Amino acid sequence: MLLFPVYAPAMRPKFYPSLVNDRFGDPALYIDFLQERRAILFDLGDIHTLSPRQILRLSDVFVSHTHIDHFIGFDRLLRVLVGRDKDVRLYGPAGFIDRVEAKLAAYTWDLVERFQTELVFTVTEVCTGLDTHKARFRFSRRFAREDQTGGRAENGVLLTEPALAVTCAELEHHSTCLGFALQESTHVNVWKNRIQEQGLTTGPWLATLKAAIHQGRPDDTPIAVERADGTLDELSLGFLREEIVSIEPGQKVAYVTDAVFTPANETAIVALARDADILFIDAAFAKADADLAAHHGHLTTAQAGSLARRAGAARVEPFHFSPRYEDCEARMIAEVDEAFSFD
């Protein structure tokens, strides 16, 4: 795998993104979470190089569109997970539920009663205008489709948890394609020396404090604290935030693929990747081959680099290079970097 350590000064990053294949291979970005035995995946191209252990960590898989190079890895995912207790959420564009259903219907599931385990896929598809449809597929039911109540991906938000959110943007390819961004919530760093200076001691109350900060609770919210002498007390959230923690913006990883260079896509990509620590972006064609890129619904190296610069991304990593450039990978990367650092 191509591993990209995301630097984040003064703190240990939470997300460790890596391209599963090289820059010419099928798209799939594996994002490992620090100390959580959890990972998510952006796109599901060929993933045979992922170990079962890495696949078992996946909680959420986001698929940009179902062209074969972005979805063929579903079979490997299924193969590793069948016979295990596991819930996986899948997300994709309009028509995605039908595609997952068709994949699951391709196999014979007559022996499911012999298993005590349950594998559940919960599938969300994002339709034009960000309305969502949802369906569930359970192993014990031979993966028969169970439609569920849909909703809306308000502001593009597909997944939201106290510590992170994943948003999508609708992009024009041949059909609709989704771009994704993983945003960590604000980092709350607790300073042990300042806890001591306040006569306090560490304990479970720190988790309560962090949660209250993440939730944006008002300053006068009382927080139960433990004093060093073992007594309990209450202090205000505002006081504790000022005195014992520092707050830094969380990490952001953005992912854009199979988007043609149109004004609508430019706007959507720049907004999605705004201030990302790292942007993984399709740069299928060389700078000189803009006509080919437009014809095939992809970006050029120069377009990818300039979008990353306009988004204010700290770093850009191009991928999905066309095999026609197999002998000039370094030149492709240099073209991206040139446009990225242009001013």
Give the footprint of Zn ion on this chain (CB under 5 A).
Answer: 69, 258
Q: What is the pairing mode between strands 278-282 and 252-256?
A: parallel
Nearer to Zn ion, 75 or 243 (CB): 75
Cα→Cα distances 324→43, 152, 273, Å: 22, 40, 28
Output the smallest distance, CB 298 to Zn ion, in A: 8
- Return the structure tokens found at 133: 């449809």
CA trace torsion 98, 102, 108, 114 (10° rounding): -30
CB of 50 to Zn ion, least distance (A): 19
The answer to whether 175 and 155 are in contact (CB under 8 A) is no
Residue 272 CA, chain-centre distance (Å), reads: 12
The minimum distance between CB 65 and Zn ion, in angstroms, equals 8
In the complex, the smallest distance separating the C-beta of residue 186 from Zn ion, rounded to whole angstroms, is 34
The H or E element containing residue 252 is strand 252-256
Rounded to an integer, what distance in angstroms lies between the CA atom of residue 180 and that of residue 162?
A: 18
| CB closest to Zn ion, residue no | 258
Please identify which residue in the block is written with the tokens 């433990």. Answer: 226
Minimum separation from the CB atom of position 258 to Zn ion (A): 4
Closer to Zn ion by Cβ: residue 125 or 258: 258
* Residue nearer to Zn ion on the CB measure, 262 or 341: 262
Residue 258 or 335 having the CB closest to Zn ion? 258
β-strand pairing of 29-33 with 39-42:
antiparallel
Encoding tokens for residue 211? 């949660």
- Reading the block at residue 61, the tokens are 């898989």
H helix intervals, the chain: 52-56, 68-71, 74-81, 96-104, 192-197, 205-214, 237-244, 263-272, 290-296, 301-311, 329-341
Of 13 and 92, which CB lies nearer to Zn ion in the complex structure?
Answer: 92
Write out the two tokens for 283. Answer: 């740069």
Count CB-CB contacts under 10 A for residue 201: 16
Candidates 155, 339, 156, 178; CA nearest to 259 is: 178
Cα–Cα distance, 1 to 43 (Å, whole number): 15
Smallest gap from residue 320 Cβ to Zn ion (A): 6
What residue type is assigned to position 263 of the chain?
P
C-beta of 70: minimal distance to Zn ion in Å?
6
Closer of 59 and 176 to Zn ion (Cβ) = 176
The tokens for 139 are 């192993």
User: Residue 205 or 319: which CB sits closer to Zn ion?
Assistant: 319
Q: Of 170 and 258, which CB lies nearer to Zn ion in the complex structure?
A: 258
- The least distance separating Zn ion from the CB of residue 250, rounded to whole angstroms, comes to 29
Q: What are phi and psi of 262, to 5 degrees?
A: -115, 160
CA gap 275, 308 in Å, rounded:
9
| Shortest distance, position 275 Cβ to Zn ion, whole Å | 26
* Closer Cβ to Zn ion, 25 or 156, answer by number: 25
